[in-house]
Every structure is written in C-alpha cells, then in structure tokens.
C-alpha cells in the first residue's frame, strides 16, 4: 500500500533506532497477531495526553480500514508491554477489536523508553512538557541519575560548549553517553535543549499542567508564564484556554496588565511601595541577574546556591 505524503515510516524509524542501540534482526519477531487484552501500557510512556477527538477519528479509520501499521511491543511475563503505538492500541479497543498486528522486540527498560521517545519525536507527537520530561527520564534511566543530577549534567555540558572550565562532577563516560543519547534522539542538541526546554520545568504549575494536558500551546505558555502576579497569570491562563486566545491576543492582554500595574493605587505612596525608586531599582537589578541565559551558564554548585537563596527570599516575602 502506498504511503501517504508526510506519513512516517515507523518500520524504518524503528530499524534505525534498533541499529543505534546495537540490536539486530534476531531481536525482532513479526508482524504477529497479538490479543489486545494481552497488551499492557508502559508506565514510562512519554505521551501523557491523548486527544479524545483524535482518538475518535482514528477509531473511525480503523473501523473502516483496519490497523494499517503494526504496533511495537516487548514480551513481559505472560503478556506484552506496549513500546510504541498507544493511540492505535486505544483506538482498536474502542472499535472492539480482539487482536492487533504487532512487532515483538527484545528490549530492556532503557531501550524500550528510547524507542518510544524517538518514535514519538519523529512524528512530533509530544507536547513540549512531555518532550522535556521524556528526554530527562531517558537520561536518568541511561545513566542512573536523579532528576537534579541529569539537569546538572546537561548544564555542565552546555557550559563546556561555551568554553567554561570543565567540571569534575561527572565522568567522561557520562558526558559521552549523554552526547550519544542526544545524537540518537536527533530532535535537538544539548544547547538548544538547555536553552529552550529546561526552563519549562520552572513554569508555574498551572501553566505547566495546561501544556502537559494539551490545553495550551508552548509559545502561549511561555508568554503567560512571564506574568509575575499570580492572580493576573491565573486569570489570563483560564481566559486563554476558555477563549482559545491567539498568541497576539495574549500578548496584548499582558501589555494591558502591565499598564494597569504601573498606575498608582488609591491610598498608596511611593515611599511605602516597591514602585518607589529604591524598590524599582531592586526589582530591575534582580531581573537582570536572573535572566535565563545567565542562569543556564552557572556551574551546578552555584545554581544550587542560587536556588537556596531564592527559596529564602520567597519565604521572607511570604512572611512579610
């Protein structure tokens, strides 16, 4: 059957990944027909959000034409664990199919996660939060690192690419494996990931959840996350989701919020507010020091110290 324009050849993608992982044809069986009730979902599946509307459309296609491409599974116990093809599997269950075509592969936990991530990234099927958490999860699994250590390793490599003195915190093998992993993923380099993806983890929880749940595009989330006042940010977030605001509309509302916050409130005085000259200078200087590019170049040890100081500042402001 001819492949539609723009459609990913999943078999070719998988074969390329398997080769990078050191596998061969003896590790692959199928396509076979596998009972759907024998397939369990991978708890580490990088995709956390599945569109109900998209799933319904896929189910209608499967009802009409069947499952055109096999899913990828690995044998676990007496059944199978899904590696790639979650939407096809869920849609097939919606239709009421009893079986599904599947390729059975021999993969360990790390390899299964890498196949799932790369297969999704090849199809641009993950949102920005899912991408970030999936890549960090893979790095943690591959190198047996905690989340904070995985982030620190990437920040170290980012700094070294810019000529900063090499840190002795991580081994040459860990550095090489991290670089190799990003090479296999192929979606972005370490520098772009540190600059454009790691900051997502610092988004306010509501904004982060909206992106993770597929309610808000990443570019819109970036703009909303920069609104400092929590109340204003939450109201704007709800409006953006409810009214499906465009990025331009969101930016206009942010401009209006800033204009409103610059106006003096009734009964307030310049000497008793951070809007005063001294307070405004403090705010401006702090913002300059805490820009993302500056933070991304800090050594991991300094970053931990900054995080501790910011937490002290947050508590002091809350108590005050």
pLDDT in tens, 43-54: 877 666 676 777
Domain co-membership, 21 together with 44: yes
Q: In this predicted model, what pLDDT tens digit does every residue of 151-190 receive, in sequence order?
A: 999 999 998 888 777 677 888 899 999 998 888 877 788 9
Q: Quickly state the pLDDT bin for 109 (edges 50, 70, 90).
A: confident
148, 176, 199: which is the final residue of a domain?
199
Lowest mean pLDDT among 164-178, 230-244, 245-259: 164-178
Domain co-membership, 35 together with 104: yes
- Output the six-digit token pair for 286: 């702090």
The answer to whether position 229 is within a domain reads yes
CATH (domain of 27) = 3.90.1530.30
Q: How much is the mean pLDDT over the chain?
A: 79
Q: Which of 155, 201, 153, 193 is nearest to 177 (CA)?
A: 153
pLDDT of res. 5: 38
Domain co-membership, 221 together with 136: no
Domain co-membership, 61 together with 140: no
SS3 content of the chain, % helix, strand, coil (to 5): 60, 10, 30
The answer to whether position 121 is within a domain reads no
Domain co-membership, 210 together with 181: no
pLDDT of res. 277: 43
Domain co-membership, 134 together with 100: no
pTM of the predicted model as reported, rounded to 2 decimal places: 0.60
CB 60 within 8 A of CB 116: no
Domain hosting residue 74, numbered range: 10-108
Domain co-membership, 219 together with 166: no
Domain co-membership, 228 together with 142: no
Domain co-membership, 28 together with 82: yes
Distance, in Å, from the CA atom of 277 to the CA atom of 252, rounded to the nearest integer, reads 27
The answer to whether position 78 is within a domain reads yes
The answer to whether position 1 is within a domain reads no
Q: Quickly state the pLDDT bin for 288 (edges 50, 70, 90).
A: low
Domain co-membership, 99 together with 15: yes
175, 199, 223: which is the final residue of a domain?
199
Give how many domains the chain has, as a whole number. Answer: 3
- Average pLDDT over every residue of 296-318: 67
pLDDT of res. 312: 67
Domain co-membership, 15 together with 95: yes
The answer to whether position 316 is within a domain reads no
The answer to whether position 268 is within a domain reads no
CB 101 within 8 A of CB 71: yes
- Average pLDDT over every residue of 132-160: 89
The answer to whether position 304 is within a domain reads no
């Amino acid at each position: 059957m001819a492949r539609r324009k723009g459609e990913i050849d999943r078999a070719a993608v998988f074969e390329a990944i398997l080769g990078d992982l050191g596998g061969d044809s003896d590790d692959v069986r199928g396509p076979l027909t596998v009972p759907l009730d024998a397939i369990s979902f991978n708890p580490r599946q990088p995709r956390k959000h599945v569109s109900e509307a998209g799933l319904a459309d896929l189910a209608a296609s499967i009802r009409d034409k069947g499952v055109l491409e096999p899913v990828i599974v690995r044998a676990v116990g007496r059944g199978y664990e899904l590696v790639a093809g979650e939407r096809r599997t869920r849609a097939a269950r919606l239709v009421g199919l009893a079986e599904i075509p599947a390729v059975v592969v021999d993969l360990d936990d790390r390899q299964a996660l890498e196949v799932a991530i790369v297969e999704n990234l090849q199809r641009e099927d993950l949102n920005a939060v899912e991408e970030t958490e999936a890549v960090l999860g893979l790095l943690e699994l591959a190198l047996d690192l905690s989340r904070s250590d995985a982030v620190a390793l990437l920040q170290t490599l980012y700094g070294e690419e810019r000529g900063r003195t090499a840190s002795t915190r991580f081994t040459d093998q860990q550095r090489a494996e991290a670089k190799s992993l990003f090479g296999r993923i192929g979606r972005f380099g370490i520098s772009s990931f540190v600059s454009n993806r790691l900051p997502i983890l610092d988004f306010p929880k509501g904004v982060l959840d909206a992106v993770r749940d597929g309610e808000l595009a990443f570019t819109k989330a970036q703009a909303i996350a920069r609104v400092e006042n929590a109340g204003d940010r939450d109201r704007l977030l709800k409006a953006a989701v409810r009214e499906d605001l465009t990025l331009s509309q969101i930016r206009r509302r942010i401009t209006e919020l800033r204009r409103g916050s610059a106006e003096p409130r009734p009964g307030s005085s310049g000497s008793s507010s951070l809007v005063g000259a001294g307070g405004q200078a403090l705010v401006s200087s702090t913002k300059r020091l805490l820009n993302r590019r500056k933070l991304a170049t800090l050594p991991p040890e300094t970053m931990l110290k900054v995080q501790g100081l910011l937490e002290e500042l947050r508590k002091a402001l809350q108590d005050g």
